[in-house]
């Protein structure tokens, strides 16, 4: 019989791709090489249990809007003003606690008050603690200004904000109980403290269980003194006051932001504590008002004493 040609068996094995390497166009080879390199560069995503917790932040902006990056810029910008223009001098800075919450209370003056940035800067530099400045909500309504105020540590002076900040987070907050009545007063009424509202700051300190630490500031009144106000224009603009300052009369438009180089002296008074249980919904209104007025009088007496000791507005 004639021999039957042997049929080649079909192989079930997967063909070796290297056999066809020479058949793949050069452009496709390059694309495959790039794809393999890209896959090798990928980093595996972490499992949920290894991922950042909800409290972890992907930026330096905290829940209040404060940015440490912006604070560092503000400290660098304000440092020469603090040291060489105002030549700020502290007394009793050791009375401010290095840990735990405390409510700082100070007098407020100057058409564009320099006391708030001076207090915040001084405590952050000297004690290494951040200070949140609580101000009228008008700052949050002004475009750009409200955002910048939040980035450098400002927040609306609302009781709920203060309670969370002081009690839950153990932070330092500074508040000015005179409100806009302090910086809007004319030079003729300098260093005469206005009424401290209804004493809301005392009730907040009671609820949070933190001390109130008064700070008397001398020199802010002369840094940007108000000669007179324009109430009609203020009502038209919807702002608390429109001042005409001596700075504008001397420096022209630059006087809107340029301070006189008056020396700022800051005296930290003894902490005030309240013998009441924290966390209550309500406290005696008469007790709150009495404590607030006592703090105001103590601050007023300290201001008069500091003024008697001062020899010169610009040199202290």
Could you tell me the CATH number of the domain that includes residue 150?
3.40.1130.10
Residue 142's pLDDT is: 62
Average pLDDT of the residues in 111-123: 95
Question: What's the mean pLDDT when you consider all of the chain?
Answer: 84
Cβ contact 215:122 at 8 Å? no
Q: Range with the lowest mean pLDDT among 130-139, 160-169, 284-293?
A: 130-139
Cβ contact 203:284 at 8 Å? no
d(CA 91, CA 306): 11
Domain count across the chain: 1
Cβ contact 186:229 at 8 Å? yes
Any domain includes 304? yes
Any domain includes 179? yes
Any domain includes 255? no
Domain that holds residue 192: 68-228+261-309
Cβ contact 132:116 at 8 Å? no
Any domain includes 287? yes
Residue 137's pLDDT is: 64
Residue 39's pLDDT is: 44
Any domain includes 25? no
What's the pLDDT band for 22 if we cut at 50, 70, 90? very low
What digits encode the pLDDT tens for the residues 273-294? Answer: 999 999 998 999 999 999 999 9
Any domain includes 15? no
Any domain includes 49? no
Any domain includes 76? yes
> What predicted TM-score, i.e. pTM, was given to this entire model?
0.79
Q: Range with the lowest mean pLDDT among 135-139, 219-223, 274-278?
A: 135-139
């Amino acid at each position: 019989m004639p021999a039957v040609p042997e049929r080649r068996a079909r192989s079930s094995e997967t063909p070796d791709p290297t056999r066809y390497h020479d058949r793949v166009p050069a452009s496709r080879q390059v694309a495959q090489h790039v794809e393999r390199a890209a896959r090798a560069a990928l980093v595996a995503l972490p499992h949920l249990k290894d991922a950042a917790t909800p409290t972890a932040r992907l930026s330096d902006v905290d829940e209040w809007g404060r940015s440490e990056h912006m604070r560092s810029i503000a400290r660098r910008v304000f440092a020469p003003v603090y040291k060489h223009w105002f030549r700020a001098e502290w007394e009793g800075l050791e009375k401010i606690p290095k840990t735990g919450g405390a409510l700082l209370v100070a007098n407020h003056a100057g058409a564009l008050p320099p006391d708030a940035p001076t207090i915040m800067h001084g405590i952050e530099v000297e004690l290494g603690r951040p200070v949140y400045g609580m101000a009228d909500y008008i700052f949050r309504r002004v475009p750009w200004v409200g955002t910048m105020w939040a980035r450098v540590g400002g927040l609306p002076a609302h009781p709920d904000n203060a309670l969370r900040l002081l009690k839950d987070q153990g932070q330092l907050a500074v508040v000015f109980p005179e409100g806009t009545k302090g910086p809007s007063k004319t030079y003729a009424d300098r260093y005469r403290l206005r009424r401290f509202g209804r004493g809301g700051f005392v009730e907040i300190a009671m609820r949070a269980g933190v001390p109130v630490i008064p700070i008397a500031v001398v020199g802010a009144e002369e840094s940007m003194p108000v000669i007179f106000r324009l109430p009609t224009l203020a009502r038209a603009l919807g702002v608390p006051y429109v001042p005409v300052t001596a700075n504008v009369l001397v420096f022209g438009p630059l006087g809107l932001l340029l301070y006189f180089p008056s020396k700022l002296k800051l005296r930290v008074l003894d902490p005030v504590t309240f013998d009441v249980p924290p966390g209550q919904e309500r406290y005696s209104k008469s007790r709150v008002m009495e404590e607030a007025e006592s703090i105001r009088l103590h601050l007023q007496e300290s201001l008069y004493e500091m003024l008697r000791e001062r020899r010169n507005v610009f040199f202290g």
